[in-house]
Amino acid sequence: MTDVLDAPTTPLGQPIKRTEDPRFITGKGRYLDDIKLQSMTHLAILRSPYAHANIRSIDTSAAKSMPGVHAVFTGADIPYNPLPMAWPAGGSAGIQNNVSTPRVLATDSVKWTGEGVAAVVADTPEQAVDALEAIVVDWEPLPAVVDAEKALQPGAPQLHENAPNNVVFEWNVGDKAGTDAAIDGAEVVVRQRIVNQRLIPNPMETRGDIGWYNPGTDEYTVWMSSQTPHIQRLLLTAFVTGIPEHKVRCISPDVGGAFGTKIFCYADMALCMFASKAIGGRPVKWVEGRRENYQSTIHGRDHITYLEIAGKRDGEVTGLRVKTIANLGGRLSTIGPGIPTTLYARVLHGCYRIPNIYAEVTGVYTNTTFVDAYRGAGRPEATYVIERAMDLFAAEIGMDRAEVRRRNFIQPDQFPYEDPSGLGTASGGAKIYVDSGNYEPAMDKALATVGYAGLPAQKEAARARGKLLGVGLSTYIEVCGVAPSKWIGAVGEGWGAAMWESANIRVHLTGKTVVTMGTQPQGQGHETTYAQVVADRLGIPMEDIVVQHSDTQGTPFGYGSYGSRTSSVGMTAAIKAADKVRDKARRYAAHMLEASPDDIEIDGAEYRVKGSPDRKKTIQEIAFALDLAFDAPEGMEPYLDETAYHDTPNCTWPFGTHIATVEIDEETGEVDLVRYVAVDDVGNEINPLIVAGQLHGGIAQGVGQALWEGAVYSDDGQLLTGSMLDYALPKASRLPSFELDKTVTPSPVNPLGVKGVGEAGAIASTAAVANAVIDALSVYGIRHLDMPYTSQTVWSAIQAAKGGQA
């Protein structure tokens, strides 16, 4: 009997294989480009070859007469508004945002190589691309600037009339006076300029859209590879096209990765809508090529930061002052300004109790692709700053890096922790605070795993082999949820919009159950995890539950999936909906069993009369009866169908310690990541297998930034890393097998005690690898080096340190 009792009674928390995977890994997923509609046409976009130029004229006549061509459009043909900018930098009085966003097609000028200027609709993609070559644009090239610091210099090329000196905004947060005083009076101050280089996100599936105007109903359907179909419907209608919201349906089919790039409103979405109507209602498909993706889908990061960290020789950190210049590209993407402000500077404290913090951020226009949220979105940049700063401080005072961290950790009894400099306080006074944490056990576990105490001997042994060994710590925190609404939606702070989530649960007559939600998977396994959560709550077998999503027709409004928010916000909405179902089922069970609802106890699927265990009904029996509703009591509506909305009271705060070990070939500068240990605390796990998968992918991406990745522009604005031949993504063959471990500190702000895990790996790992490389190079007195640590970068640093010719 004990065997049966010990067997798991709920799928929640079990490492269940994802129910999506059979279709994904056998080629049966249905992605945007898999959709082929009757009479569908194909759109191609002519993109600017110049980083900065005026458009004198565009001659489309030859293209229009090419075979198969239905229409050729330029910006002048399209009466839509520019794309919206939904998240200005805000938070304190007098912050001005000098906004320029892309038009559906550029009209007068272009601001980066790849900005769209004309479009062809043809019967086949080949015909559309051929016709692009027949469009003649009379360009007036202008001087370009690609570096944000140079763009601020006097005499730099100016991009926008409304943005003097190319400034998008000048923003600040924290306690300026206190921080200035702390730094002025400090025993030790370390200053360092650090660059968080521009990255190209590279989801496996590029973007794409199909626009279809139905002349019979005057309605539009837009299929899009998007993380946010509900938001796109709102933005495309209310802000871009003027088409009423209820006349547009947005559908995200299977989405093959996104990493943030598919949160946003892109010109091509509106272009496909416009084109379909313009050609009489044939569907219009646009699928982005990989090189096109590198130029026309958002990039990430691109910060230049001047940091100053102050403290005492005993290891106590007393102040952090940061000045960051954030490159936002040629025009603003949907929430570009929100990333280096709210999502970055407000979490600069990391997991440390630093009494004085002040940050200034300047957003800058340059002749580059626009920059917006990329996996972690501001938090990897913040983690990189604070984790590098801690190492710099430790090196300066000659104290062990783990010990310095230990001395400054926020202590377990100090949660909820509110940053004393006001980093968590939004403009209206709404606050976020660090909900929970217990940082030392995670760090100690990681240190023990790598044998940190034996590090000097390891280094010596490696040196004998001609290798410089280094170990780097990243004791990170993440902030998940992009919530609550009263904080993120505060006027002038977030995108002036709410950030709750939604879920609907219907238990059908047969007991089969449909869960719909407002969040939007892009490979995370939501169909599995939502089913685990609902199965646990309702006692319905997972195989009887289908999880539906991604279509504004048929799912409740939701803000989508990004910012590691689905588990903490979206699944709490599912729990609330399930609780409403349980409540109604309890009341109906009471009616069926002729008992008081208060006397009904619920055990999995069974609703029993207390003290009379034989008097019971299953949820399936209840659903059947309540669906037929022959016998429903007065005032009770038929059917088990409940919707819930959840606005979380606070963000959630995963944490952990990642430790990277690298070996550097002293003679060539080649860096080899030889070991990676991660101890993460993401609270309770819904599915440990999916948690591990998210961590593996995130860690690889973060390692990529440290060792290989980096978008490089020529001075005149050509993207030199324009394809996977030049832009180095992490490859499995160059990564060690990651060693994962955990501590579990449930979040107190949601019933599941979950925190989110989508970004943790990427947030933590870049700093861990960077700190490891610098540790390895510390034998040469090197305290800092900018990423990526290509072999030449490392070799040159070694040569310079040796005093030789680099």
Partner 1 sequence: MIPAAFDYQRASSLDDALSALSGGDAKVIAGGMSILPLMKLRLAQPGKLVDIGKLSELRGDGPTANGGWEIGALTTYSEALAATQLDFTRECVEGIGDVQVRNRGTVGGAISHADPASDLPALLLALDYSAVLRSSRGERTVPLDGFFKGAFETDMAPDEILVKLVRGPLPAGADGSYQKMAHPASGYSIVGLCAVVGSSGGSISHARVAITGVGHVAYRAKAVESALVGSDGSASAVASAASHATDGQDVNSDIYADRAYRSKMAEVYVRRAIDAALGR
Which residues contact partner 1 (rule: CB under 8 A)? Answer: 125-126, 129-130, 289-291, 667-668, 670, 707-708, 712, 720-721, 724-729, 731, 734, 790-792, 795-796, 805-806
The Cα 11–Cα 200 span in angstroms is 37
The answer to whether the bond into 597 is cis (omega within 30° of 0) is no
Which residue(s) pair with 608 in the sheet? 601, 616
197 φ, ψ to 5°?
-70, 160
| CB of 783 vs partner 1, minimal distance in Å | 22
Q: Which residues contact 96 (CB under 8 A, 6 or more apart)?
A: 169
From residue 571, alpha-carbon distances to 566, 596, 694 in Å are: 6, 30, 17
CB 594 within 8 A of CB 773: no
| Residue 497 vs 729, nearer CB to partner 1 | 729
**CB of 466: closest distance to partner 1 in angstroms?**
11
Q: Using the minimum distance from each CB to partner 1, give the nearer residue, 130 or 501.
A: 130
Six token digits for residue 195: 């660059």
Long-range CB contact pairs, 777-784, < 8 A, 24+? 777/468, 777/470, 777/664, 777/801, 778/395, 778/470, 779/468, 783/192, 783/392, 783/395, 784/192, 784/194, 784/388, 784/392
Using CA atoms, how far apart are residues 775 and 745, in angstroms rounded to an integer?
30
Measured CA to CA, the distance from residue 394 to residue 408 in angstroms comes to 12
Q: Measured from the CB of residue 406, what is the shortest distance to partner 1 in angstroms?
A: 35
Distance (Å, whole) CA 342 – CA 579: 34
Nearer to partner 1, 192 or 791 (CB): 791
Nearer to partner 1, 649 or 736 (CB): 736
Closest CB 290 distance from partner 1, rounded Å: 7
Write down the least CB distance from residue 111 to partner 1, Å: 23
Tell the smallest beta-carbon distance from residue 707 to partner 1 (Å). 8
Backbone angles phi, psi at 225, to 5 degrees: -85, 90
**Which residues, 6 or more positions from 492, have their beta carbon under 8 angstroms from its beta carbon?**
88, 90, 91, 95, 427
Q: Least Å distance between CB 294 and partner 1?
A: 12
Smallest gap, in angstroms, from Cβ of residue 370 to partner 1? 22
Question: Of the two residues 10 and 790, which places its CB atom closer to partner 1 in the complex?
Answer: 790
Residue nearer to partner 1 on the CB measure, 69 or 402: 69
Q: Which is nearer to partner 1, 44 or 533 (CB)?
A: 44
Tokens 């007098």 correspond to 94
Q: Which residue, 268 or 419, has its beta carbon nearer to partner 1? A: 268
Q: Residue 318 CB, nearest distance to partner 1 (Å)?
A: 40
Q: Are 288 and 207 in contact (CB under 8 A)?
A: yes
CA distances from 776 to 675, 699, 744, 763 (A): 14, 20, 32, 22
Specify the residue, 125 or 748, whose C-beta has the smaller distance to partner 1: 125
Q: Which is nearer to partner 1, 231 or 468 (CB)?
A: 468
Nearest distance, CB of residue 55 and partner 1, angstroms: 23
Minimal distance, residue 668 CB to partner 1, in Å: 6
Nearer to partner 1, 192 or 796 (CB): 796
Of 272, 219, 265, 210, nearest to 243 by C-alpha is 219
Give 424 or 722: the residue with its C-beta nearer to partner 1: 722
What Cα–Cα distance (Å) separates residue 737 from each residue in 15, 371, 508, 677, 734?
Answer: 19, 32, 45, 9, 10
Q: How far is the CB of 620 from partner 1 (least distance, A)?
A: 49
Cβ at position 33, least distance to partner 1 in Å: 12
Cβ closest to partner 1, residue 144 vs residue 534: 144
Name which of 129 and 399 has its Cβ closer to partner 1: 129
How much of the chain is in helix, strand and coil states, percent to nearest 5?
30, 25, 45
Tell me which residue has tokens 């990765």: 257
Alpha-carbon distance of 507 to 626, in angstroms, equals 10
Contact present, 525 and 687 (Cβ < 8 Å): yes
**In the complex, least distance from residue 289 CB atom to partner 1, rounded to whole angstroms:** 4
Question: Please, what is the minimum distance in Å from the beta carbon of residue 477 to partner 1?
Answer: 30
- CB of 364 vs partner 1, minimal distance in Å: 23
Greatest distance between any 2 Cα atoms in the chain: 91
3-state secondary structure of 649: coil
Instruction: Classify the phi-psi angles of 732: left when phi > 0, otherwise alpha if psi is within -120 to 50, otherwise beta.
Output: alpha
CB of 118 or CB of 186, closer to partner 1: 118
CB of 722 to partner 1, least distance (A): 10
Residue with tokens 């590691």: 564
Q: Is 764 helix (H, G, I), strand (E, B) or coil?
A: helix
748 within 8 A of 684, measured Cβ to Cβ:
no
Complex with partner 1: residue 711 or 762, whichever CB lies closer: 711
Q: What residue spans of 337-454 are helical by DSSP H? A: 342-345, 379-397, 401-408, 439-450
- Distance CA(44)–CA(119), nearest Å, equals 6
CB-nearer residue toward partner 1: 593 or 728: 728
140 residue type, one letter: E
Give the total residue count for the chain: 806
Q: Which residue's CB is nearer to partner 1, number 291 or number 431?
A: 291
Report whether 91 contacts 342 (CB < 8 A): yes
CB of 291 to partner 1, least distance (A): 7
Cβ-Cβ contacts under 8 Å for 441 (sequence gap 6 or more): 743
Tokens 């689905």 sit on residue: 566
